[in-house]
Amino acid sequence: MPLQIHRSSWSDDDLEDFRDLARTFCQKELTPNQERWIEAKQVDRELWTKSGEVGLLAISIPEEYGGGGGTFAHEAVLYEEQARAGDGAWGVSVHNGIVAHYLLAYANEEKKREWLPKFASGEFVGAVAMTEPGTGSDLQGIKTRAVRDGDSYVINGAKTFITNGAHADLVVVAVKTDPDAGAQGVSLIAVETSTPGFRRGRVLDKVGLKGQDTAELFFDDVRVPMENLLGEQEGLGFIQLMQQLPQERLIIAVSAVAGMEAAIDQTIAYTKDRTAFGRPVFNFQNTKFTLAEAATEAAVARAYLDQCIERHLRGELDVQGAAMAKLWTTERVNKVVDDCLQLFGGYGYMTEYPIARAWADIRISRIFGGTSEIMKEIISRTL
């Protein structure tokens, strides 16, 4: 029986029906393809249109823009089932939970009606480009420039570590529109990747998430209409990023907790089946105590995560709460999965075992979306 046997406080019958759909899709379309996607360093492009056809894209975008009309709870269900399917390749959380919501919140009405239905169908894949080769968490230090030229912006610069970079049809790009204004000089501009001057670099070779198309992007005199600016004026990018980051960090926490639960389930099953010295590995006290501690870690993390999801659904989740959720769950999942891998012995280090892939995949969770150290800095400001 799966570790999480109680329905989350924020769920209901409709969400559990949606969970059945998401679980079926993830087990059928994601789990069997992991090795092939790792070799290719990206998922099949057709995965996006398949998922759009069954209603898994833009699920929390209003129906008037072609979306599913759901809430963040629908997003959470999908990311949980993706984690339990052992998938680290499909960048759906960036597409659904991040990029689509930048467009919904800040694009003008005409662009929302143009772009969001394509996000829902899978015709467009979304990415967000913040990080640059010389800047990590310090978004004020970005060098990519957007200069006004008539009724257009001309963009020059480079971005790296971009999830969905190889497949993206639309990228929300953090740029400097005023290089002398610090945070007030940052703007967000949407760039369709068919625009002349846009080019993709390498799909990067990572420690984990090897099936995900994390790429370099380059902008060489990329000219886009002024209407592609997100927001009513220049210089709002930093504020927009801060408004959207709590949801991004909550998404990471959702995947972390589901990943923790999945790892424990796998380890319980393995240790009950595997024998050593004439008895199941599970029967050794060290195994039982390790798993008891892991199950407790997961249960406590789940309780706080569920509280944060409830707050977010009410529009009450603040920056501090999201930072706490991201910090706690990602630190705990790294410890729990490492402890679980140890119980697999030598087989835990073989990449054919899902626990090995999970161990490599989850390491990035303490880095992306803001490092653990940045989370502590954010939390400390409220003390």
Q: Which residues are tagged catalytic?
A: 248
Biggest CA pair distance of the chain: 79
Burial (Cβ within 10 Å: 0-12, 13-18, ≥19) of residue 42:
buried
Closest-CA residue to 242 (of 323, 176, 312) = 323
SS3 90: coil
Q: What is the C-alpha separation between 291 and 76, in angstroms, rounded? A: 25
**Consecutive H or E run containing 269:** helix 237-273
DSSP 166-215: TT-SEEEEEEESSTTSGGGGEEEEEEETTSTTEEEEEEP--SS-TTS--E
Q: What is the C-alpha separation between 93 and 126, in angstroms, rounded? A: 10
Taking the CB of residue 377, how many other CB atoms lie within 10 A of it? 13
> Residue 247 in contact with residue 101, Cβ under 8 Å?
yes
Question: How many Cα atoms are found within 13 Å in the side-chain-facing hemisphere of 52?
Answer: 18
Q: What is the C-alpha separation between 291 and 116, in angstroms, rounded? A: 44
Amino acid at 260: M
Amino acid at 22: A
Closest-CA residue to 77 (of 62, 56, 63) = 56
Taking the CB of residue 338, how many other CB atoms lie within 10 A of it? 15
